[in-house]
Structure 1
């Protein structure tokens, strides 16, 4: 499972990101700026000592991942109809796959910023 340090380093490497600590001490990564931002991933404790990583996914990825060993619909978020997955125990995703889903979560969240801010931050210039 990815360590909290490597998780934070990867999230910090994505464009226009910053972290805050909220919701009971969870590390919350956002894309945007101080005036407008969107959450793209959350790291908190799961099952006592293992980190739990929660991330936004597409509807298709949600259906594929929701019942994989070590993954589940994200508590709170998924119960409100949002397509978020939580990796909470082994085996979960390998580090490379988790990084790919985190990058996609960043992309999906950044698309909910205003077009003007996306341009200013150099995001989604497909």
Structure 2
């Protein structure tokens, strides 16, 4: 996924914001919490997944536990993975839902979620 494509897709998600941080990675947030990022070098999409998805995805070639984030249930999906762009987008949508669901009730209300 290209940076332009990743950022355009993220901005279609309800109340999602983008920042560039760390090594100029594109970081997607909801309510100030990170739910996905595009690691430009080596060009992987990192995202939060469910426990079951973590177990299944990390069995695929081109998908690995995300460095520094794996303990929180994150995976890193490379362009070499067998996942299609639509499948990656579906996982990003789910990451958005998971992280939004963990925000406080007050913050979700403020965001209109």
Q: Displacement, 1:89? A: 3.6
Distance in 1 of aligned mates of 2:73 and 2:29: 17
TM-score by length of 2: 0.92
- Mark the runs of 5 or more structure 2 residues left unpaired by the alignment: none
Distance in 1 of aligned mates of 2:3 and 2:45: 9
- Aligned match of 1:17: 16
Mapping of residues 47-62 of structure 1, within 5 Å: 47=42, 51-62=43-54
- Aligned match of 1:68: 60
The two structures, once aligned, show a CA RMSD in angstroms of: 1.3
TM-score by length of 1: 0.83
Runs of 4+ residues deviating >4 angstroms: none
Q: Displacement, 1:76? A: 1.1
Indicate the structure (1 or 2) with the bigger Cα radius of gyration: 1
- Aligned match of 1:41: 36
Q: How many residues align?
A: 113
- Mark the runs of 5 or more structure 1 residues left unpaired by the alignment: none
